[in-house]
Amino acid sequence: MSDLPSYRSKQLLQWIYDKHIFDPQLMSNLPAETRDELGSKLSFSIPQIDLKKTAKDGTSKYRLKLEDDSIIEMVLIPDGKKNTLCVSSQVGCARACSFCATGEMGLKRNLETHEIVAQIMLASSFCQPNRLSNLVFMGMGEPMDNLENVLKTLTIIQADDTLAFSPRRTTVSTCGITDGIRALADSKIKTKLAVSLNSAIDEKRSMIMPINEIHPLKKLKESLKYYLTKSNYRITFEYILIPDFNMDDEDISALRSFVGDISCKLNFIPYNTVPSLPYRSPTEPEIELFLKKAQSLNQAITLRRSRGAEIFGACGQLAGQQ
């Protein structure tokens, strides 16, 4: 509503972003006619919680129903006073990574900007009295395939009169859409970037990530180097550990060659078993052996344990349940 006076706009934003009130009729310092007009012209819809599962570690996974009955997921991960939200950007995903439950769904549609922001606001209300501290676009969907709405979301939540969310606490993840990476770099919107790598060998990566046929490793690396000319943040490479596939000596050697001249850090993530997919989780001895070999890499490395495995923590698992 462009005709709303600036002080009324400020009041409206305070109700939404400070007080987490999404019904205009409850915004008591706005005139009745303004409340009625807001309700008739703008959508204040918040996704309906269709199913919630909470793990022993406190991780909560939400299956959300949108206004058109589309189903998406979000995951809220507490760590002391810190709270990280894994947010979805699409209903389903078109990229068909063979290890991902969402990939089995195919793409239904992109999420609108307000549907992404609504997830963030819903999660923020659950964190009270603490704040939502970190935001990762690693839920359902490929963010680069809905980049316009993702960038609009970041612009909204980073604004001083909304959440003033720090770019240092936001991460956009991609399976390797190179033109999207370049567009993100050129957007001048600050955020961290994570890349789902999973193998630094073209043939292997193509086996599990069809995107590699279109955007092979050489092309991906060129786009990442371009991104680094525009950003002060290191790139994070996500590398899912899949036994008998990407945990051998040749995999470490290829990884060393690929990341050697890139400002980055490496997150190794033990695969979270999905019953419908033909992969298994690595054993502890297999993880320990791989990490021992990975010590030869020059980059900072971390082992990131999957959270919420017993509540269908892998992306897309909960949405696929009836």
- Active-site residues, by number, are 73, 315
E-state strands within 189-297: 192-196, 235-241, 264-270
